[in-house]
Structure 1
Amino acid sequence: MRLIENEDEVLSALKSGDQNAFKTIYLAYYDKLCRYANSLSNNTTNVEDIVQEALMYLWQKREDITINSSLNAYLYRAVYNRFIGEIKKNKRELTLMYELQLSAILEFESFEDSKKEHYLQLLEDIISKLPEKRKEVFVLSKIKNYKYKEIASMLKISERTVENQIRRAFITIRKEVSGLKYIMILAILEFYF
Structure 2
Amino acid sequence: MKNTTQIEELKKGNEFVYRYLYEMHYNELCSYVFTLSRDKLLAEDIVQNVMLKIWKNREKLNITTSVKNYLYKSCYNELIDTYKKNKKEFNYIQQVQKEALDVFIEEDEDFVASQINRVQVEIDKLPPKCKEIFLLNKIQGFKYREVAEQLDISVKTVEAQMSKAMSRIKEALEKA
Smaller-chain TM-score bracket: 0.5 to 0.7
- Is residue 9 of structure 2 the alignment partner of residue 7 of structure 1? no
- Is residue 9 of structure 2 the alignment partner of residue 23 of structure 1? no
Q: How does 1:91-106 map to 2 (within 5 A)?
A: 91-106=87-102
Query: Which runs of at least 4 in structure 1 moved beyond 3 Å after TM superposition?
Result: 112-115
1:107 and 1:9 map into 2 onto residues whose CA distance is 62
Aligned residues: 112
Q: Give the counterpart letter for 1:40 in structure 2.
A: L
Identity percentage of aligned residues: 31
Q: Quick one: which of 85, 92, 99 aligns to 1:89? A: 85
Q: Give the counterpart letter for 2:73 in structure 1.
A: R
Q: How does 1:155-170 map to 2 (within 5 A)?
A: none
2:99 and 2:110 map into 1 onto residues whose CA distance is 19
2:72 and 2:108 map into 1 onto residues whose CA distance is 56
Q: Quick one: which of 58, 78, 86 aligns to 1:62? A: 58
1:48 and 1:57 map into 2 onto residues whose CA distance is 14
Q: What is the Cα deviation at residue 111 of structure 1?
A: 2.3
TM-score (norm: length of structure 2): 0.59
Q: What is the Cα deviation at residue 58 of structure 1?
A: 0.6
- Residues 3, 67 of structure 2: 8 Å contact kept: yes
1:19 and 1:57 map into 2 onto residues whose CA distance is 14
| Number of the residue aligned with 2:33 | 37
Instruction: Decide whether aligned partners of structure 1 residues 107 and 12 sit closer, same or farther in structure 2, where only a CA change above 3 A counts.
Output: same
Q: Quick one: which of 49, 56, 78 aligns to 2:45? A: 49
1:37 and 1:49 map into 2 onto residues whose CA distance is 10
Q: How does 1:87-126 map to 2 (within 5 A)?
A: 87-111=83-107
- Is residue 67 of structure 2 the alignment partner of residue 71 of structure 1? yes
| Number of the residue aligned with 1:119 | none
Report which of the two structures shows the higher radius of gyration computed on alpha carbons: 2
Give the unaligned 5+ runs of structure 2: 112-176
TM-score (norm: length of structure 1): 0.54
1:61 and 1:44 map into 2 onto residues whose CA distance is 26
Give the unaligned 5+ runs of structure 1: 116-193
Instruction: Decide whether aligned partners of structure 1 residues 106 and 60 sit closer, same or farther in structure 2, where only a CA change above 3 A counts.
Output: same
Instruction: Decide whether aligned partners of structure 1 residues 8 and 96 sit closer, same or farther in structure 2, where only a CA change above 3 A counts.
Output: same
Q: What is the Cα deviation at residue 114 of structure 1?
A: 9.2
Structure that is richer in helix per residue: 2
Q: Give the counterpart letter for 1:24 in structure 2.
A: Y
Cα root mean square deviation, aligned: 1.9
- Residues 7, 63 of structure 2: 8 Å contact kept: no
| Number of the residue aligned with 1:184 | none
